Structure 1
Amino acid sequence: MRSLESALRGAVDRDEIFAVFQPQVDLATGRVVGAEALCRWKHPEWGLIPPDEFIPVAEDTGLIDEIGRYMAEQCCRALAEWSTPEDPIDLSVNVSPVQLETREFTEWLVQCLRRYTRQGGVLTLEITESRAVTDIAPVLRRLGPLRAIGVGIAVDDLGTGHASITQLRRLHGTEVKLDRTLVGDDSPEALKTMSRAVDVAHRSGIRVVAEGIETEEQLERVRRLGCDRGQGWLLGRPMSGEGMHRLVRSRP
């Protein structure tokens, strides 16, 4: 871990950290309506290092703030460049609960969004569940100014443990994402869990995004369940910012 921590320090400044974007599709129309920004780290000697290896290290060492700000700023810039009031594109980015433990990050993000004039589209913060959000009051205070300027709040990875519709309600969230392990599971128990989640979410006015869609069968299943948006290799693989911009511009 120490060698990984040492290598991770300064990775943003050395341009080793970068963002790729995976399209999100409206399941009713098949149209690309958004994308999730995914963090990647390419070490000059070790090559690509999986996020599930370096993100926990970043959280434990405080480096997550630098990485999180970099990723959020990439989304703010992209919203300004890609989206228009007539043809909006939504973007989402993962935010660790560690970043929400102090008010500096949310204050910085408000200023970042103001610096890059948005021409439409919504920035959604996906609160990752590597840690559960237990102390809800300060988190709500910090998310309040962001919600006031139209930022969406999503709970990521429903079905993996911490994530729940209850937590989303407490956060006054706008979106929940069904984890790929649920989407890929056609067992009666998994279908029941997803159906219940979609029903509760929709009754609360919350959008449901199914992630990890890799087959036509999975796509048809989440459509039948009533999911609003889909994400996965079948619908679009992660791509560079330039590639995502071209895709957005080519939409009918």
Structure 2
Amino acid sequence: MPVSINLSRADFQMMDPLTELNQAMRKNGLRWSLVRVEITESALSKDVAGLKRAIHNFRQAGYEVWMDDFGSGYSSLNYLKNFEFDEIKLDMIFMKDFDEASKKILTACVKMAKDLGIHTLAEGVETKQQLDFLQSIGCKRIQGFYYSKPLPTGEFAKLVAEKGIEIENWQQSKFYQCVGLVDLASDKPTCLALDDGSHFRLLYVNEEFQKEVKRAPAVFKQIVNEWNKPESEIAKRLHAFAQKVDQGEASYFDFKQTEQYLRLSA
């Protein structure tokens, strides 16, 4: 299971964190991809050149580097310009005052990060309302008390078993790493679907898509069921469309189903 370690400015001043971490990984026979290195935003304000080299070296060695507490300081955007990050952790301050202004800022941050090829994680998530909103704008990960407070390893394993939480395997992790950069923050109904060769499954839907579904939930359910009938002409066209996309052909097609006009594009 991947873990994160936090590094402060003092860690970089007192030692070479990359050398220490590499030694620990070799000693314990662990894969480099299992560790994420988190650096707080406040640590980036001094020795910019040195930290740029350190972050670059971590990434070259195979570690993901995340910026912690993004948005807590006054230079967040400047740091994104000057440093290479795989993921930014949106500060929990946006969850404390979860109003329309916070939602607009979060939406803009997630969209900007995706445009830069950077993943996003929201800190301080405690309610289903917050979770649903973050999913609708395409935020890839959440952290907070919504699922649980921090737990010892044994209690965490018990919680996962009791709640039936599925642990991602490496193939799933790699897949979601790719789709996590798809921008869902659109004013048009947008969803992300997975075709496994026999069935279509919706992975993400944005807020506008949810509104359309709520207008006629029974009709939408009928539409999706039709997509997954092997004998359905629509299902055959969908699979052919997915194969074109898999081959790198950007495409779209329009069709009418249950009096609804639909367009799929990729």
Report the structure, 1 or 2, having the larger helix content.
Answer: 2
Contact 1:124/1:153 (CA < 8 Å) preserved in 2? Answer: yes
Cα shift at 1:180: 1.3
**2:92, 2:62 → 1: CA distance?**
27
Change (3 A) 1:216 1:244: same
Which of 118, 137, 160 is equivalent to 1:225?
137
Partner residue, 1:110: 22
Change (3 A) 1:169 1:103: farther
Equivalent runs, 1:137-216 vs 2, <5 Å: 137-162=49-74, 164-216=76-128
Partner residue, 1:241: 153
Contact 1:156/1:163 (CA < 8 Å) preserved in 2? Answer: no
**1:117, 1:165 → 2: CA distance?**
37
**1:101, 1:162 → 2: CA distance?**
23
**2:165, 2:129 → 1: CA distance?**
25
Letter in 2 for 1:216: K
Cα shift at 1:102: 4.8
Letter in 1 for 2:100: P
Letter in 2 for 1:236: S
Letter in 2 for 1:226: G
Bigger relative contact order, structure 1 or 2 (CA pairs below 8 A, ≥6 apart)? 1
Change (3 A) 1:109 1:207: same
**2:107, 2:114 → 1: CA distance?**
11
* TM-score normalized with structure 1 length: 0.57
Contact 1:101/1:138 (CA < 8 Å) preserved in 2? Answer: no
SS in 2 for 1:237: coil
Q: Percent identity?
A: 29
**2:152, 2:112 → 1: CA distance?**
35
Contact 2:70/2:88 (CA < 8 Å) preserved in 1? Answer: yes
Give the greater-gyration-radius structure (CA).
2
Partner residue, 1:9: none
Change (3 A) 1:121 1:138: closer
Cα shift at 1:166: 3.5
Q: Any stretches of 5+ residues in structure 1 without a counterpart?
A: 1-88
Contact 1:154/1:177 (CA < 8 Å) preserved in 2? Answer: yes
Asked if 1:126 is matched to 2:38, the reply is: yes
* TM-score normalized with structure 2 length: 0.55
SS in 2 for 1:194: helix
Change (3 A) 1:167 1:248: farther
Change (3 A) 1:182 1:118: same
Letter in 2 for 1:100: F
Letter in 2 for 1:125: V
The Cα offsets for residues 186-220 of structure 1, whole Å up to 9 and x where unpaired, read as 33322222111101111111110011111111111
Letter in 2 for 1:244: F
